[in-house]
Amino acid sequence: MEVSQEMSVLPVPLEECDTEGNEAAAVQLQVLDEPVLEEVGSRAFWRVMFTPCIVSSMDYFGLGMVIALLPYIVAESQAETYWVGIIITAQYLGVLLGSIGAGVMSDYRGPTFVLKVMVAGDIVFFSLSGMYEKVWFLLVVRFFAGAFTPLTPALAYLTDSCQQFSNPMQARVKGIAAWSASASISFTFGTAFSAFMGVENFHISCFVSGGTALCTFLYLQTLKETSTQMRAETYIAPQGQLNLFRSFAFISLLASQVMVGFLFTGTLSILGLIIEDGYGWPATTFGAIMIIFSISTFLWQMFCVAPILRQVPTPSHALFISYCFLVLLLGTVYLLYPYPVAFVGAMNLVGLAFSINIPIGSILAPQDADKLGVNIRGTAMGYARGAFNLGQTLGPATMVMIYDSEPWAMFGCVSMLCALLAGLIYCGRIANIEKGTTER
**Cα end-to-end distance, the chain, whole Å:** 24
Q: Is 337 exposed, middle or buried (0-12, 13-18, 19+ CB in 10 A)?
A: middle
Domain 237-440 has CATH 1.20.1250.20: yes
Collapse the DSSP code of 24 into the 3-class scheme (helix H, G, I; strand E, B; otherwise coil) and give the result: helix
pLDDT of residue 38: 58
Q: Give the residue from 391, 189, 389 showing the smallest Cα distance to 294.
A: 189
**Looking at the domain that runs over 42-235, which CATH code has it been given?**
1.20.1250.20
Domain boundaries, the chain: 42-235, 237-440
The 10 Å CB-count burial string (b at 16+, else e) for 252-266 is bbbbbbbbbbbbbbb
pLDDT tens digits, 127-165: 998 888 888 898 899 899 989 989 889 998 998 888 788
Chain centre to alpha carbon of residue 135: 27
Cα separation, 352 vs 311, in Å, equals: 18
Give 405's contacts (C-beta < 8 A, 6+ positions apart).
none
DSSP 426-440: IIIIIHHHHTT----
pLDDT tens digits, 288-341: 787 788 788 888 887 888 888 888 888 889 989 999 998 888 878 878 878 888
Mean pLDDT value of segment 274-283: 73
- Confidence tier at 35 by pLDDT (50, 70, 90): very low
42-235 and 237-440 in the same fold = yes
DSSP 111-174: HHHHHHHHHHHHHHHHHHGGG-SSHHHHHHHHHHHHHT--HHHHHHHHHHHGGGBS-HHHHHHH
pLDDT tens digits, 160-180: 888 788 788 888 888 888 888
